[in-house]
Amino acid sequence: MTREQFEELVSQALDRIPPELTRLMDNVAVFVEDEPDPGDPELLGLYEGTPLTDRGEWYAGVLPDRITIYRGPTLRMCESQEDVVAETEITVVHEIAHHFGIDDERLHALGYG
């Protein structure tokens, strides 16, 4: 799958997020990269920033939070295009949930591991 095709899958996954949630997202940007840091080659996605639940009066004038979805590990772990579509959607939801302050333990319990 080309990078452009994968970027389109990420875009489609973002489009499936309910509008009532996307309206609440604040100061966050989503990126697609081919590979994560070599120290964690199996990483599918990464949230970097300050979750909405941790922001206070001090939160102003900061760079956007960053959500990165990694193409290489996703393609390597999936056996079919349908698997890639499903895994990409799960990863996008997982990282957006971190933006809302939901931790990995809760996400795993909800099936977004």
Question: 112 is written with which tokens?
Answer: 């977004």
SS3 109: helix
Per-residue model confidence (pLDDT) at position 113: 67
Contacts 24+ apart (CB under 8 A), 85-88: 85/9, 87/44, 88/6, 88/9, 88/10, 88/13
- CA dist 64 and 50 (Å) reads 9
> What's the whole-model pTM score?
0.90
106 or 67, greater pLDDT: 67
Model pLDDT for residues 49-95, shown as the tens digit of each residue: 999 898 888 888 889 999 999 999 999 999 999 999 999 999 999 99
Positive or negative torsion for Cα 68, 72, 78, 79 = positive
